[in-house]
Amino acid sequence: MYLKILFYGAKSYDEQFFKHVLKDYPKLEIHFTDANIHEETAALAEGFDAICAFVNADLGTNVINQLAKHHIRLILMRCAGFNNVDLKRAGELGIAVMRVPGYSPEAVAEHAMALALTANRHTHKAYIKCRENDFSLSGLMGVNFYGKTAGIIGTGKIGQAMANICRGFGMRVIGYDKYENPEAKIQYMPLDKVLKESDLISLHCPLTEETHHMINKQTIQSMKNGVILVNTSRGGLIKTEDLIEGIRAGKFFAVGLDVYEEEGPYVYEDLSEQILQTSTMARLLSFPNVTVTSHQGFLTVEAMESIARTTLQNAVDFLEKRHSDNELTHCHF
């Protein structure tokens, strides 16, 4: 018995790493398409047992219904997040959903600190200035992180890794999480107190109904003036219009974003020859103290190999009817 899997939205790095580790999983057959999954492309799954998707996939109710018609029994998410998956409908239709909860916490945490440093020291601006033979220091003033307070919101494995990095910079680390992590060695406080005391705020929590727009006009007002905000988790944690209002009001010293609300149709796509149909991203990029990257926090060699191995092991566990902590719905082949 073997499992035939179609990878949707596959990029060159996906093919590289999944093909590399496939030799260790002889019961699996994998195929790739660069088309992402939505209602119109769900039919490509005909003849497969399972599909593999990423964080930018549409796996809502209608797509799940289409996959069931094509006899898909397993959805493999090659990422930690699953807010784009209708788990209830998948369970009703007997489709198992599995994810990769912890591929490389350090990869994302290191990118979060890179964003914080870049936005703080205006490295992105300095690079462009030097390329144009402008070696002046105007507009490049930063602040020390040493001796400051880092507020970690969401203290799972990634938040814990970020806390360790911040301590390495000589920062006091405080944090908030609905479920405290005893291994994180973080001084826990209520969310409003973390927001009020932090010089650097880094978001590392999942997107849920409870956390949606947790950074909004009210919570921004409670922050210190001159705070640095970093988000490498999910764009929906921040109400973008309120963030823009706060940036214009001078509330933030710097902002670093690897995720943003409107990234859905744009993420991982080359749109350099197109005009974006919304102005939110253009407004964010217009601010000299904002640094934006394209949801690349996960993109390291170590993380990609871990994602590939865990995803394929999830498929084998499903095939062999083994329990896995990575199951989001419980069904078997």
3-state secondary structure of 229: strand
Residue 1 pLDDT exceeds 80: no
DSSP label at residue 235: G
Our answer to whether residue 309 is catalytic in this structure is no
CB 80 within 8 A of CB 59: no
**SS3 state at 313:** helix
Question: Token pair 């499992």 is at which residue?
Answer: 3
Taking residues 141-158, report their average pLDDT. 96
Instruction: Tell whether the model's pLDDT for residue 267 goes beyond 80.
Output: no
**What's residue 333's pLDDT?**
55
pLDDT at 52 over 80: yes
Residue 268: what pLDDT?
67
From 263, 283, 320, 322, active-site residue:
263
Mark whether 73 is an active-site residue: no
Per-residue pLDDT tens over the stretch 18-44? 999 999 999 999 999 999 999 999 999
Identified catalytic residue from 99, 122, 295, 309: 295
> Which range is least confidently modeled, 33-37, 99-103, 240-244?
99-103
Residue-wise pLDDT tens digits, 164-198: 999 999 999 999 999 998 888 899 999 999 999 99
- Which of 51-55, 188-192, 229-233 comes out lowest in average pLDDT? 51-55
Q: Which residues contact 268 (CB under 8 A, 6 or more apart)?
A: 9, 11, 56, 294, 295
Pick 153 or 82 by higher pLDDT: 153
Q: At what angle do helices 123-131 and 105-121 cross, to 10 degrees?
A: 60
Question: What size, in residues, is the chain?
Answer: 333
Q: pLDDT grade, residue 264 (50/70/90)? A: low
Residue 271 has pLDDT above 80, yes or no: no
Would residue 71 show up in a list of annotated catalytic residues for this protein? Answer: no
pLDDT tops 90 at residue 269: no
List Cβ<8 Å contacts ≥24 apart for 325-329.
325/101, 326/98, 326/99, 326/100, 326/101, 327/96, 327/97, 327/98, 328/77, 328/82, 328/85, 328/87, 328/97, 328/98, 328/99, 329/87, 329/90, 329/91, 329/95, 329/96, 329/97
Q: Please give the domain boundaries of the chain with CATH numbers for all domains.
A: 3-103+300-329 (3.40.50.720), 105-292 (3.40.50.720)
Percent above pLDDT 70 for the chain: 95
Q: What is the per-residue pLDDT for 326?
A: 93
**pLDDT score, position 299:** 93
- What local confidence, expressed as pLDDT, does residue 266 receive? 63
Report helix, strand or coil for 203.
strand
pLDDT tops 70 at residue 277? no
What's the pTM? 0.87
Task: Write the DSSP symbol of residue 44.
Answer: G
Q: Are 175 and 203 in contact (CB under 8 A)?
A: no
Determine which one of 234, 241, 320, 322 is catalytic.
234
Is the pLDDT at 93 greater than 60, yes or no?
Answer: yes
Centroid of chain to Cα 264: 12
Q: What pLDDT is attached to residue 81?
A: 79
